[in-house]
Amino acid sequence: MAAATEEVEPGPRQTEKQKKNKKKAAPVDESELLTVPDGWKEPAFTREDNPKGLLEESSFATLFPKYREAYLKECWPLVQKALGEHYVNAALDLIEGSMTVTTTKKTFDPYAIIRARDLIKLLARSVPFEQAVRILQDDVACDIIKIGSLVRKRETFIKRRARLLGPKGSTLKALELLTNCYIMVQGNTVSALGPFSGLKEVRKVVLDTMKNIHPIYNIKTLMIKRELAKDPELRTQSWERFLPKFKRKNLKKRKEPKKKNTKKEYTPFPPPQPESQIDKELASGEYFLKERQKKRKKMEEIKAKQADAIKKRQEERNKAFIPPKEKPAVKTKKASTEKKIDIEAIKEKVKNAKKKKLGALPEEEVKLKMAADEKKKKKKK
């Protein structure tokens, strides 16, 4: 054991090899190892990778709602054709309302059945076939987010789901552009289809929206991240300094109760014992009265209460007959007849009017007309 632990001194040949290896090994940046080179794609899985095929047959089935029956009937030949390329069988049962996918002897890709399962799940969640068939590609994945149980009240759930869509679907469109994913909001689920990095962001935004965080905040951060990703120098650095930090301003204040219970001062002595009915009667002297006298006293009290009630009712009725207070009459000022009328001026006007003929022009206008006629005659001569 001791001999095994002893280090053997390297020979001259071994030292030369080590020197050559040291020269060959150039320093490599960690950033290059962490990042994937641009344009690189994982090679496709072919029959050469698995020539013997699969050992066991596996299948998946999923139910679909009644309103999807007509659409699935139409596009089912296309689904069978798309899955046939991957040697996967597809069956549609309209009686049970289910879709089933199974592998065959020719199936060589073991992950093809998982993609086929996701395809029928997306079709059941109202995703159109044109988008759902993309799941069969290698670089595309899907995520079905259940949002029905995240909010208790149905009204708040509908409001937050509408907030995720935005006005005329603008918020959803912005999310699709930023994450490169197709998003479908249907009922109690959100179906997303796209690259893995985009699906991660979509899930975060959807869950935050259901937690009453507006999606516009997450959209802003995604836009900033998109711009930062273009800079190669910032790839290895932390982006926390660039990202906005939003604080909740509208904090819910606790509603103050109408009846505030104030704590009484502590006393070592117990509270006084409440008086019983017998004690009250003894204090007032009713206890020693006979039954007839007690009944008579009660009747008198009842009659007194009734009399008060009748009196109040009568007062309320009499209020309608009380006339309202009249406003004091305002004295009108007499029209002043002290203005003097000029009788002579009126007489002159009447005389002038009599001289004039009906429809006749005034004297000034007649003179002007005469002068104009004379000028015309001269010109003609």
Give me the residue spans of the domains in the chain: 45-138, 139-248, 277-315
Residue 32 has what pLDDT? Answer: 61
Helix (H) or strand (E) holding 145: strand 141-146
Decide if 45-138 and 139-248 have a common fold.
Answer: yes
The CATH homologous superfamily for domain 45-138 is: K Homology domain, type 1 (3.30.1370.10)
For the chain (381 residues), the mean pLDDT of every run of 10, in chain order, is: 41 48 54 69 86 90 94 94 94 94 93 94 94 92 93 93 92 94 93 94 94 91 89 82 76 73 85 88 85 88 94 92 83 57 80 65 73 78 63
- Pure H helices in 2-64: 2-5, 12-24, 30-34
* CA gap 195, 95 in Å, rounded: 35
Q: pTM above the 0.85 mark?
A: no
Q: Which CATH class is domain 139-248?
A: alpha beta
Could you tell me if residue 126 is left (phi over 0), alpha (psi between -120 and 50 degrees) or otherwise beta?
Answer: left
Provide the token pair at 139.
């670089």
pLDDT at 233: 83
Lateral strand order in the sheet of 59-63: 59-63, 98-103, 88-93
pLDDT of residue 262: 82
